[in-house]
Structure 1
Amino acid sequence: MANFSLGTATVSDANELGHLMALAYKNDPIQRNLLPFALRGDYWGAWLAHDFARAGEVYYKSTDVSSRGRDSDEFLSSKIVAFAKVRYPGPIDSKGDFEGEPPEGTDIQTLVHWFEQMDAYHEKHASYEKDYYLNVLCVHPSYQRLGLGKMLLTRFLADADKEHARVYLQATELGHPLYLKYGWVDIEDMVTQTPEGPVVWKCMMREPGDGAKGII
């Protein structure tokens, strides 16, 4: 039976997180148009590694610890099966945007458009200095519906509620129902144009303490 631990990831986890992200969003209508699946993990791993150095960035991870060694505190085997990329309020840093070279086969136009949309709507609706931000929440497909999303959200939202702060996010169609359950409300549609047509994500805001009963 799986046993899960909650912790904070380090930059050494970035590549593993990138491959988990690629797998979790394998069929996402935006990401499947961006770059070949076999190359996504390394690209997202490099992006995550870059953002580790940003002010306020924190990565929470849920690890499946299969067993412990007898008479030992060391884990025999473990793997990251879910993570959340979040940002705590603070000054806007000067780290700069990720400029990693997209692999061959990337739809550069869609990639640039998507990133520009996310940045523009974030700046429109939220403050880096005052608001919390949930950037990525993903769970391995084989570990969904086990409460891992709730585990990660509970950890993050406890800090936001303690500071009486708002939490902003941009939700995919798949993730949208989960966020409604934990207190977020829709504030505007964000539309990304892809070769398959427009894809709508929901810009959402959670006021301090909203949905607190849902995460206990």
Structure 2
Amino acid sequence: MPDNNLTVSLLKPDEAEQYMRIRHAAFKHDVNKILYFNQPEPSQATLDHVTRDIADGIAEGIFYLKCVDTTTNEIIAGARWRYVRPNDTNSTARTWEEVNAELTIPEPYTESHPEVWHAFYKLFNETKKKQMGTRPYWVLDTLVTHPDHHRRGAGGMLLKWGCAKADEAGTEAYLEASEMGEPLYQRYRYEPVEKIALDLRRWGGEEEIRWTVMIRPAKGSN
């Protein structure tokens, strides 16, 4: 059961740095090894860049959420949700031009290995395109809980928010789950559809990082 002291609401732009710190701590053992391949820790300049990207995303309409412990007013977890839908509100499907325009690759950080960076984004982009095609959907880009606050129900609360939005819109929901996160998503009707991996040993790294692509069917579908 979720902790009664936890609440979920939209992140504010001036809270972007707190979200960034949680994301950095949560990704330390997997995604950070991709994003910051060339050195163990990113520079402060890079962390500032990530913080600006989060604040800019909020301004652009991306749904960044926070989970707050009301006993301390501390943000302990966060999520990044987006509604991917046609530009034409009367259409039930996106055009392929819209699909391709959404699947971009941002500029790598100073600490990134350009080939690793591009391989990571290419893998995720091509998988989304293959699995979702031109259909509208809600996507959970990121779900992060600070390691000091695991098993309090924060992740489930943040996940439930987006699932409700997808149900309201009558669409599927999409995500790439870490091996640790997969059981949580299954409890919210996400179904595994594909296994994907990025083998960092190709570039001198130490491991292969794996994800399970999961799709939650639209409400009322079989």
TM-score, normalised with respect to structure 2: 0.76
Match of residue 86 from structure 1 = 81
- Tell me the CA shift for residue 129 of structure 1: 5.7
Report 1:1-216 matches (<5 A).
3-28=5-30, 30-35=31-36, 36-39=40-43, 41-54=47-60, 57-66=62-71, 78-90=73-85, 91=87, 92=98, 97=104, 99=106, 102-103=109-110, 105-127=111-133, 130-194=136-200, 195-209=205-219
Shift of 1:202: 0.9
Percent identity of the aligned residues?
A: 23
Specify every segment of 5 or more residues in structure 1 that has no aligned partner in the other structure, as ranges.
68-77, 211-216
Question: 2:105–2:118: 8 Å Cα contact kept in structure 1?
Answer: no
Output one character per residue of 1:74-119: Cα deviation in whole Å (capped at 9) or x when no partner: xxxx22211110111333597895745613x432221221112111
C-alpha deviation, 1:61, in angstroms = 1.0
Q: How far apart, in 2, do the equivalents of 1:54 and 1:132 lie?
A: 16
User: 2:91 maps to which residue?
Assistant: none
Cα distance change on mapping 1:38 and 1:112 into 2, 3 Å:
same
Q: Is the 8 A contact 1:26 1:37 kept in 2?
A: no
Preserved CA contact (<8 Å) 2:105 2:122: no
SS of equivalent residue, structure 1 residue 137: strand
Letter of the 2:80 counterpart: K
- How far apart are residue 48 of structure 1 and its match? 2.6
The Cα of 1:11 is off from its aligned counterpart by 2.7
Match of 2:71, SS state, is strand
Residues 171-190 of structure 1: CA distance to partner in whole angstroms, max 9, x if unpaired?
11111111112111111122
1:37 is paired with a residue of what secondary structure? Answer: coil
Determine if contact 1:86/1:132 at 8 Å carries over to the other structure. yes
1:174 is paired with a residue whose SS is coil
Q: Which runs of 5+ in 2 are unaligned?
A: 88-97
Q: Return closer, same or farther for 1:171/1:43 CA change in 2, 3 Å cut-off.
A: farther
Structure 2 CA distance for aligned equivalents of residues 131 and 96 of structure 1: 14
